[in-house]
Chains A and B, each alone.
Chain A
């Protein structure tokens, strides 16, 4: 499975939990638009850490950097630790 699809799957599950069945494009704002809440952001962060070895203690976390599937993809490309990926 490609990275983008994996990210989409996680987002879709999180949205579904919130009774949000509206479609979303890879460019749609998810956090700043309020579609996902802070508790969802924790899930995304833990997913990125576990799956791609992103070290958030080093990168910090700016919601604007992981606001859409496109942005998360770019963020992962820049911050994944290949050994754990």
Chain B
């Protein structure tokens, strides 16, 4: 099919709109049992945009999408883009307290909720709520074929995604249209996606991998297939039945499928491209995925939310480029447009081959953190004549110019691709226990990725009470798997809580016990 690639320069919904005019009957989205064409989805986005802008004139603002894996979610974010607003995806299963706090911070101009989102929202007091809530796509203004997506400046905000903050408050990363445009253009150059391509959408909208799934696919005129939550962990049948050609997910999906012996050789004959991104990629799982998807390219992509999804890339080769002693695929070379540097603690470049903090510069950098100029200045310093983002990732560059990830320089960990600041867990735990004598460690660690968090306390509250209280404050993936009581926390020689010793304690225990399934 002869399709020109649409320009996204001025609006995230631009390509959707252009394809709707040229080839409107192609399927754009398959979600929750509904298949919807480019023409239908563009019309829906335009109607949501009309609803958003029907009030008095206003400047561009934030539209919260309290919806997940539903038509409302996708229509909502496209409607926000169409209207020239920025979308802010929030998980409808967030604890009430955290949702309330986020909404007070964001001060959104409107909110789009699906059924799950409405249920959560109904638990929040609506008194004093200053924004309208869209709860049904049936009540929208009529379609107006004259209305196009609103032109946006390159620096206009496309979306804001919240990530864990080390001081106990989540931080909003503000990503401009320019960054998304650059990402999508580069991905199209690298992969040459076609309208016949069938993309997965496994990433949650509140996870920026979804930005690639959606906008790269719609830029190419391809279709997006949203993986139902019940099949997320083991999407074997989903990939097979939908005949997906492009898969993108956290490497944990490959790790889990391999561990459950579900990655049979040749299991995924339809896949052309497999993008594994969001956390460390174990070589063994990558190779097992490659055998299952023998006709597919398998790529490890790395990138912080602050650099719009993907920043570096390493293709799985034979033999693979391995990060020594870690069993991981290297994170590879910077994508076109990115400049990478490795800095030491005082902000100077380290000698080649030495370890230091990875810094990134280029057109995909975020504008900074929402209402936090101090943190923005600290993490996005100007060095020389460029703005850099300091990733907090410890890396070194090998002789071939590829980068290797060696862990974090701070206490951030990744759990199923979610960024978790252990400091944030400790801040909430401290407030629940009424004491600072608390600690959180990532445990167990499996090939560079945490599978959960274990917390320690010395208070009189029961483990059950603490866990319950944390469930009411933290997103599910940050809630500890285990709550442990100790009479005293071990201290290091400088008087700080010795987390390494706590981890060693867990390692010792684990060596002494066997996995549940092997217990007789």
Q: How far is the CA of A38 from the CA of B451 in the complex (A)?
A: 9
**Across-interface contacts of B483 in A (CB, < 8 A):** 19
Give the nearest-CB partner of B515 in chain A: A43
Contact A61 to B262, CB < 8 A, known contacts A19-B463, A42-B256? yes
Contact A60 B261 (CB under 8 A): no
Contact A60 to B237, CB < 8 A, known contacts A14-B516, A38-B416, A42-B256? yes
**Across-interface contacts of B259 in A (CB, < 8 A):** 42, 46
Q: With both chains docked as a complex, state the minimum distance between the C-beta of A45 and any C-beta of chain B, in angstroms.
A: 5
Q: With both chains docked as a complex, state the minimum distance between the C-beta of A20 and any C-beta of chain B, in angstroms.
A: 7
**Across-interface contacts of A21 in B (CB, < 8 A):** 464
Q: With both chains docked as a complex, state the minimum distance between the C-beta of A42 and any C-beta of chain B, in angstroms.
A: 6
**Across-interface contacts of B256 in A (CB, < 8 A):** 38, 41-42
Q: How far is the CA of A51 from the CA of B32 in the complex (A)?
A: 34
Q: With both chains docked as a complex, state the minimum distance between the C-beta of B189 and any C-beta of chain A, in angstroms.
A: 34
Contact B481 A17 (CB under 8 A): yes
Binary CB contact string for chain B from 255 to 277 against chain A (1 if under 8 A, 0 otherwise): 01001111010010000000000
Contact A41 to B233, CB < 8 A, known contacts A17-B481, A18-B482, A61-B262? yes
Q: How far is the CA of A34 from the CA of B477 in the complex (A)?
A: 9
Q: How far is the CA of A62 from the CA of B241 in the complex (A)?
A: 13
Binary CB contact string for chain B from 486 to 517 against chain A (1 if under 8 A, 0 otherwise): 00000000000000000000000000000111
Contact A38 B233 (CB under 8 A): yes
**Across-interface contacts of B326 in A (CB, < 8 A):** none
8 Å CB interface, B62-99 against A = 93
Binary CB contact string for chain B from 12 to 49 against chain A (1 if under 8 A, 0 otherwise): 00000000000000000000000000000000000000
Among B232, B267, B464, B517, point to the contact of A19 (Cβ < 8 A).
B464
Contact A61 B516 (CB under 8 A): no
Contact A63 B229 (CB under 8 A): yes
B252 close to A (CB within 8 Å)? yes
**Across-interface contacts of A43 in B (CB, < 8 A):** 515-517
8 Å CB interface, A22-59 against B = 22, 32, 34, 37-39, 41-43, 45-47, 49-50, 56-57
**Across-interface contacts of B230 in A (CB, < 8 A):** 32, 62-65
**Across-interface contacts of A3 in B (CB, < 8 A):** none
Give the nearest-CB partner of B238 in chain A: A60
B231 close to A (CB within 8 Å)? yes
**Across-interface contacts of B480 in A (CB, < 8 A):** 19
B452 close to A (CB within 8 Å)? yes
**Across-interface contacts of B452 in A (CB, < 8 A):** 37, 39
Contact A57 to B451, CB < 8 A, known contacts A19-B467, A38-B252? no
A4 close to B (CB within 8 Å)? no
B316 close to A (CB within 8 Å)? no
Give the nearest-CB partner of A22 in chain B: B464
Q: With both chains docked as a complex, state the minimum distance between the C-beta of B282 and any C-beta of chain A, in angstroms.
A: 15
8 Å CB interface, B194-229 against A = 229
Contact B482 A19 (CB under 8 A): yes
Binary CB contact string for chain B from 453 to 467 against chain A (1 if under 8 A, 0 otherwise): 000000000011011
B236 close to A (CB within 8 Å)? yes
Contact A37 B229 (CB under 8 A): no
Give the nearest-CB partner of B259 in chain A: A42
- Can you list 26 A-B pairs, Cβ within 8 angstroms, ordered by A? A10-B516, A10-B517, A13-B516, A18-B481, A19-B482, A20-B467, A21-B464, A38-B233, A39-B452, A39-B481, A41-B256, A42-B260, A43-B516, A43-B517, A46-B517, A56-B260, A56-B261, A57-B262, A57-B267, A60-B231, A60-B237, A60-B262, A61-B260, A63-B229, A63-B233, A65-B230
Which residues of A come within 8 Å of B, CB atoms?
10, 13-14, 17-22, 32, 34, 37-39, 41-43, 45-47, 49-50, 56-57, 60-65
**Shortest 9 CB-CB contacts between residues of A and residues of B:** A61-B234, A60-B237, A64-B230, A63-B230, A19-B463, A47-B517, A45-B260, A46-B517, A19-B483
